Structure 1
Amino acid sequence: MTRRTSPAAALEQPVFPAIPKADVLGRLAALHTAPIADLKQQWRELYGKEPPPFSRSYITSRLAYRIQELAYGGLKPETVERLVALGEQLDGGNVVLRRIRADSRPLPGTRLIREWQGVQHVVTVRQHDFEFEGRPYQSLSSIARHITGTRWNGWTFFGLKWRAGA
């Protein structure tokens, strides 16, 4: 049995508080010192749902965006359309491919920079491997091991904690 909603209920959008432009800077500054419980309450008020179980920095950054969005307006429809079109150029509109790419390794050409013991190390992501000091490596862990002399999770060492399947 499927639950049906009335057309009027389907069109109802939650109402979010208007944020005066004059309040934006103060609210953004207050995010950095607010207790996490207050941040979660703001999330409920500004997004109309429960906050995700992510870090304080994630919640703070998304709240900062949302405050500005409610005060100044969101992306223009033309911008959204352009972003969708660019996404479809990359993956032909296949949402599954889009999610795989978003959750896996960085795009080729991305430079990962990590300072270790006062020395800056730069890794370039390539199509099927990584380049460090002019040499190819199959994994970031092998590069981290080369740099530190100990075993590391390469994704963690280079600050890429959201790897698919990890």
Structure 2
Amino acid sequence: MNKPDPIPARLAALKTATTPELKQQWRDLFDSEPPPFNRRYLESRLAYRIQELAYGGLKPETIRRLERLGEDLDGGDRTKSRIRADTMPIAGTRLIREWQGVEHAVTVTADGFEWQGRPYKSLSAIARAITGTRWNGWVFFGLKNRRART
């Protein structure tokens, strides 16, 4: 009799795993420290990695095509694409900030941010609209420590 495929069960278990367990799986599967992103990101990347290791990854021609598309977007600057990928929250992420007793929710979109139904290119523009003063949007929404040198 055929053995059942354990991969679907491993993928389902990601939903009930604790964040420390997800981070340990990241270390085991990627042989690196997990990034400081939200749980949903960790789950999706771990799910992909589990399937990639079990069933194989993308075909080389698909990887080349994706790299060409990426070069079209960022001019081939690998540093620029890594910085964006490492710092930008994934699309769909909601950033919540209370300001003077009012809670403000910003949604990360594929090409920027949305606040109160309007698109914005930067968090700083939203922070200025909320406070009336100039702010570093990343600091205002708690994504970057004001003292950090990045």
TM-score bucket of the superposed structures, by smaller chain: 0.5 to 0.7
The counterpart of 1:51, out of the listed 30, 33, 53, is 33
Give the distance between the partners of 2:112 and 2:38, measured in 1 at CA: 26
Q: Which residue of the other structure, out of 124, 132, 143, is the alignment partner of 1:161?
A: 143
- Gap regions ≥5 residues in structure 2: 92-109
Compared CA separation, residues 33 and 104, structure 1 to 2 (3 A): closer
Matched AA of 1:34 = A
Shift of 1:30: 1.1
Q: After superposition, where does 1:5-154 map in structure 2 within 5 Å?
A: 22-47=5-30, 49-52=31-34, 54-55=36-37, 57=39, 58-99=41-82, 102=85, 103=87, 110=111, 112-114=113-115, 121-126=116-121, 139-145=125-131, 154=137
CA distance in 2, matches of 1:42, 1:153: 34
Counting matched residue pairs gives 124
- Aligned partner of 2:95 in structure 1 is none
TM-score by length of 1: 0.51
Q: Which runs of 5+ in 1 are unaligned?
A: 1-19, 115-120, 131-137
One-letter code of the match for 2:117? V
Question: 1:79: how far off?
Answer: 1.4
Q: State the structure with more CA Rg.
A: 1
The percentage of aligned residue pairs carrying the same residue is: 45
State TM-score, norm by structure 2. 0.55
User: Hey, what's the Cα distance between the residues in 1 that align with 2:58 and 2:136?
Assistant: 37
Superposition deviation, residue 113 in structure 1: 3.4
